[in-house]
Amino acid sequence: MRRSFLASLVLALAGCGSTGGELLEFDAYAAGPEGRTAGEPYTFVTDRGYEVTLTTAKLHIGAVYLNQSVPTSVSSDTSCYLAGQYVAEIAGGADVDLLDPGLQPLSARGFGTTERAKTAEIWLSGGDIDADVDPTVIARVEGVATRGAETFPFDATITIGENRALEPSDPAQPGARPICKQRIVSPIEIDLRPEAGGSLVVRVDPAGWFDNVSFDELEQVDDSPPLYRFRDDSLDQPSRNLFNGLRANSGVYELEWVP
């Protein structure tokens, strides 16, 4: 009788219960916009009325993070990390062909918890998010933009390093604009809960990069054939807006949990 009671107690206690949540590993992919054929040019019309046809669109994703919190306001917080708890990460990215709607695996497996995620971050870096210099090509685009009779064959190569460093607007706050903030697309609104056996898909629509770009302000770098080129810095309007489009937290990046 007593032995059976003790045995029951052991069974009741040992291994029973949980601290809540679960850790899991998952696969992660990136892809271009859906509904297209891989390898074919991607044509779209921007908010400024340009019809853009991309023949090359590549993006280097450094890492992807999911967070359970939504920032409530814009604050002076200059930390590269969100205040809330991160629930999933893919701490390694890939060069993604955005003209290919097929799933392209990221270089690292995802790790996370089963907590619900409300925001996401895309890190556009080759490694250290705080490095002053990072030669990694984050984005590379080629294409043609037309508006009426105007035609702008263009290309752009975007890196994020000293060329994107911002001077502090207030000398009393020299650390208000760290380079890490230039490398992070955040917060991207999502609502998903990682589950065992599923995978994360990041779809990137490069059309959103060009929404505010005025191609007619681009510098022409070649006459024959004509070629307009975005600067790899933020010193002119089109280049600055393309970079801002690259870092837009809505309309460009969509994250989906695929069971």
Partner 1 sequence: MRRWSSLSLSVALAAALAPRSALAQPLPAEPHPPNDPTDAPPPAGATPPKVKTSAEPQYPPGRLSDEHHHHDPLPELDVEIEVTIDETGKVIGAKVLASGGADFDAEAIEAAKAFTFEPATEKGKPVRSRFHLPFHFEPPPHAEPEVVEVVGKRPPPTRGAGDYRIDVGNLAIVPRKSAAELLKLAPSVFLLKDGGGEGHADRVYLRGFDAREGQDIEFTVGGVPMNDAGNYHGNGYADLNFIIPELVTRLRVLEGPFDPRQGNFAVAGSADYELGLDRRGLTAKATYGSFNTARLLMLWGPDGQSPRTFAGAEIFRSDGFGENRESWRARAMGQFEGRLGNDASFRISAGGYATQYESAGLLRQSDVDAGKVDFFGTSDANQGGSAARFHLSADFEVKTGETTYGLQAFGVYRSLSLRENFTGSLLDEQLPRQELHGQRGDLLDLQTTAGTFGLRGYGRHSFEVLGLKQDLELGMFARGDLVSALQQRVGADTDDPYLTEADLDSKLADLGLYADAAVRFTKWLTLRGGVRVDLFAYDVQDNCAVTDVSRPSEDDPPGDASCLSQQRFGDHREPNQHSTTASIRPLPRVSLLLGPFAGFSFSAAYGQGVRSVDPSYVTQSVATPFAAIDAGEVGVSYAKSFELATLGVQSVFFATHVDRDQIFSETEGRATLAEGTTRAGWAGSVRSTGDFFDLSASVTLVQSRFDDTGLLVPYVPDVVVRHDGALFHDLFPIAGSPVSGKLGIGASFVGERALPYGQRSDVIFGLDAAVSMAWRFLELELAGTNLLNLEQKQAEFNYVSDFDATNPATLVPARHFAASQPIGVFGSISGTLGGDR
Give the binding site for partner 1 (CB under 8 A): 6, 9-10, 13-23, 62-63, 65, 76, 78-81, 86-89, 91-93, 111-113, 123, 125, 127-131, 170-176, 178-180
Closer CB to partner 1, 89 or 97, in the complex: 89
Q: Nearest-CA neighbor of 68 among 136, 145, 121, 141? A: 121
Closest approach of partner 1 to the CB of residue 236, in Å: 25
Name the phi and psi angles at 147, rounded to 5: -145, 110
**CB contact at 8 A, 28 and 117:** no
Residue 129 or 213: which CB sits closer to partner 1?
129
Minimum distance from CB of 60 to partner 1 (Å)?
12
The smaller minimum CB distance to partner 1, of residues 19 and 224, is found at: 19
Strand pairing of 219-223 and 253-258? Answer: unpaired
Q: Compare residues 101 and 178 and give the one whose CB is closer to partner 1.
A: 178
Residues 93, 55, 207: CA angle, nearest 5 degrees = 65
- Output the smallest distance, CB 27 to partner 1, in A: 16
- Which is nearest to 110 in space by CA: 244, 216, 11, 255? 255
Whole-angstrom Cα distance, residue 205 to residue 246?
10
Nearest approach, Cβ of 218 to partner 1 (angstroms)?
A: 31
CB of 127 to partner 1, least distance (A): 5
Alpha carbon distance 75, 153 (integer Å): 40
- Which of residues 115 and 211 has its CB atom nearest to partner 1 in the complex? 115
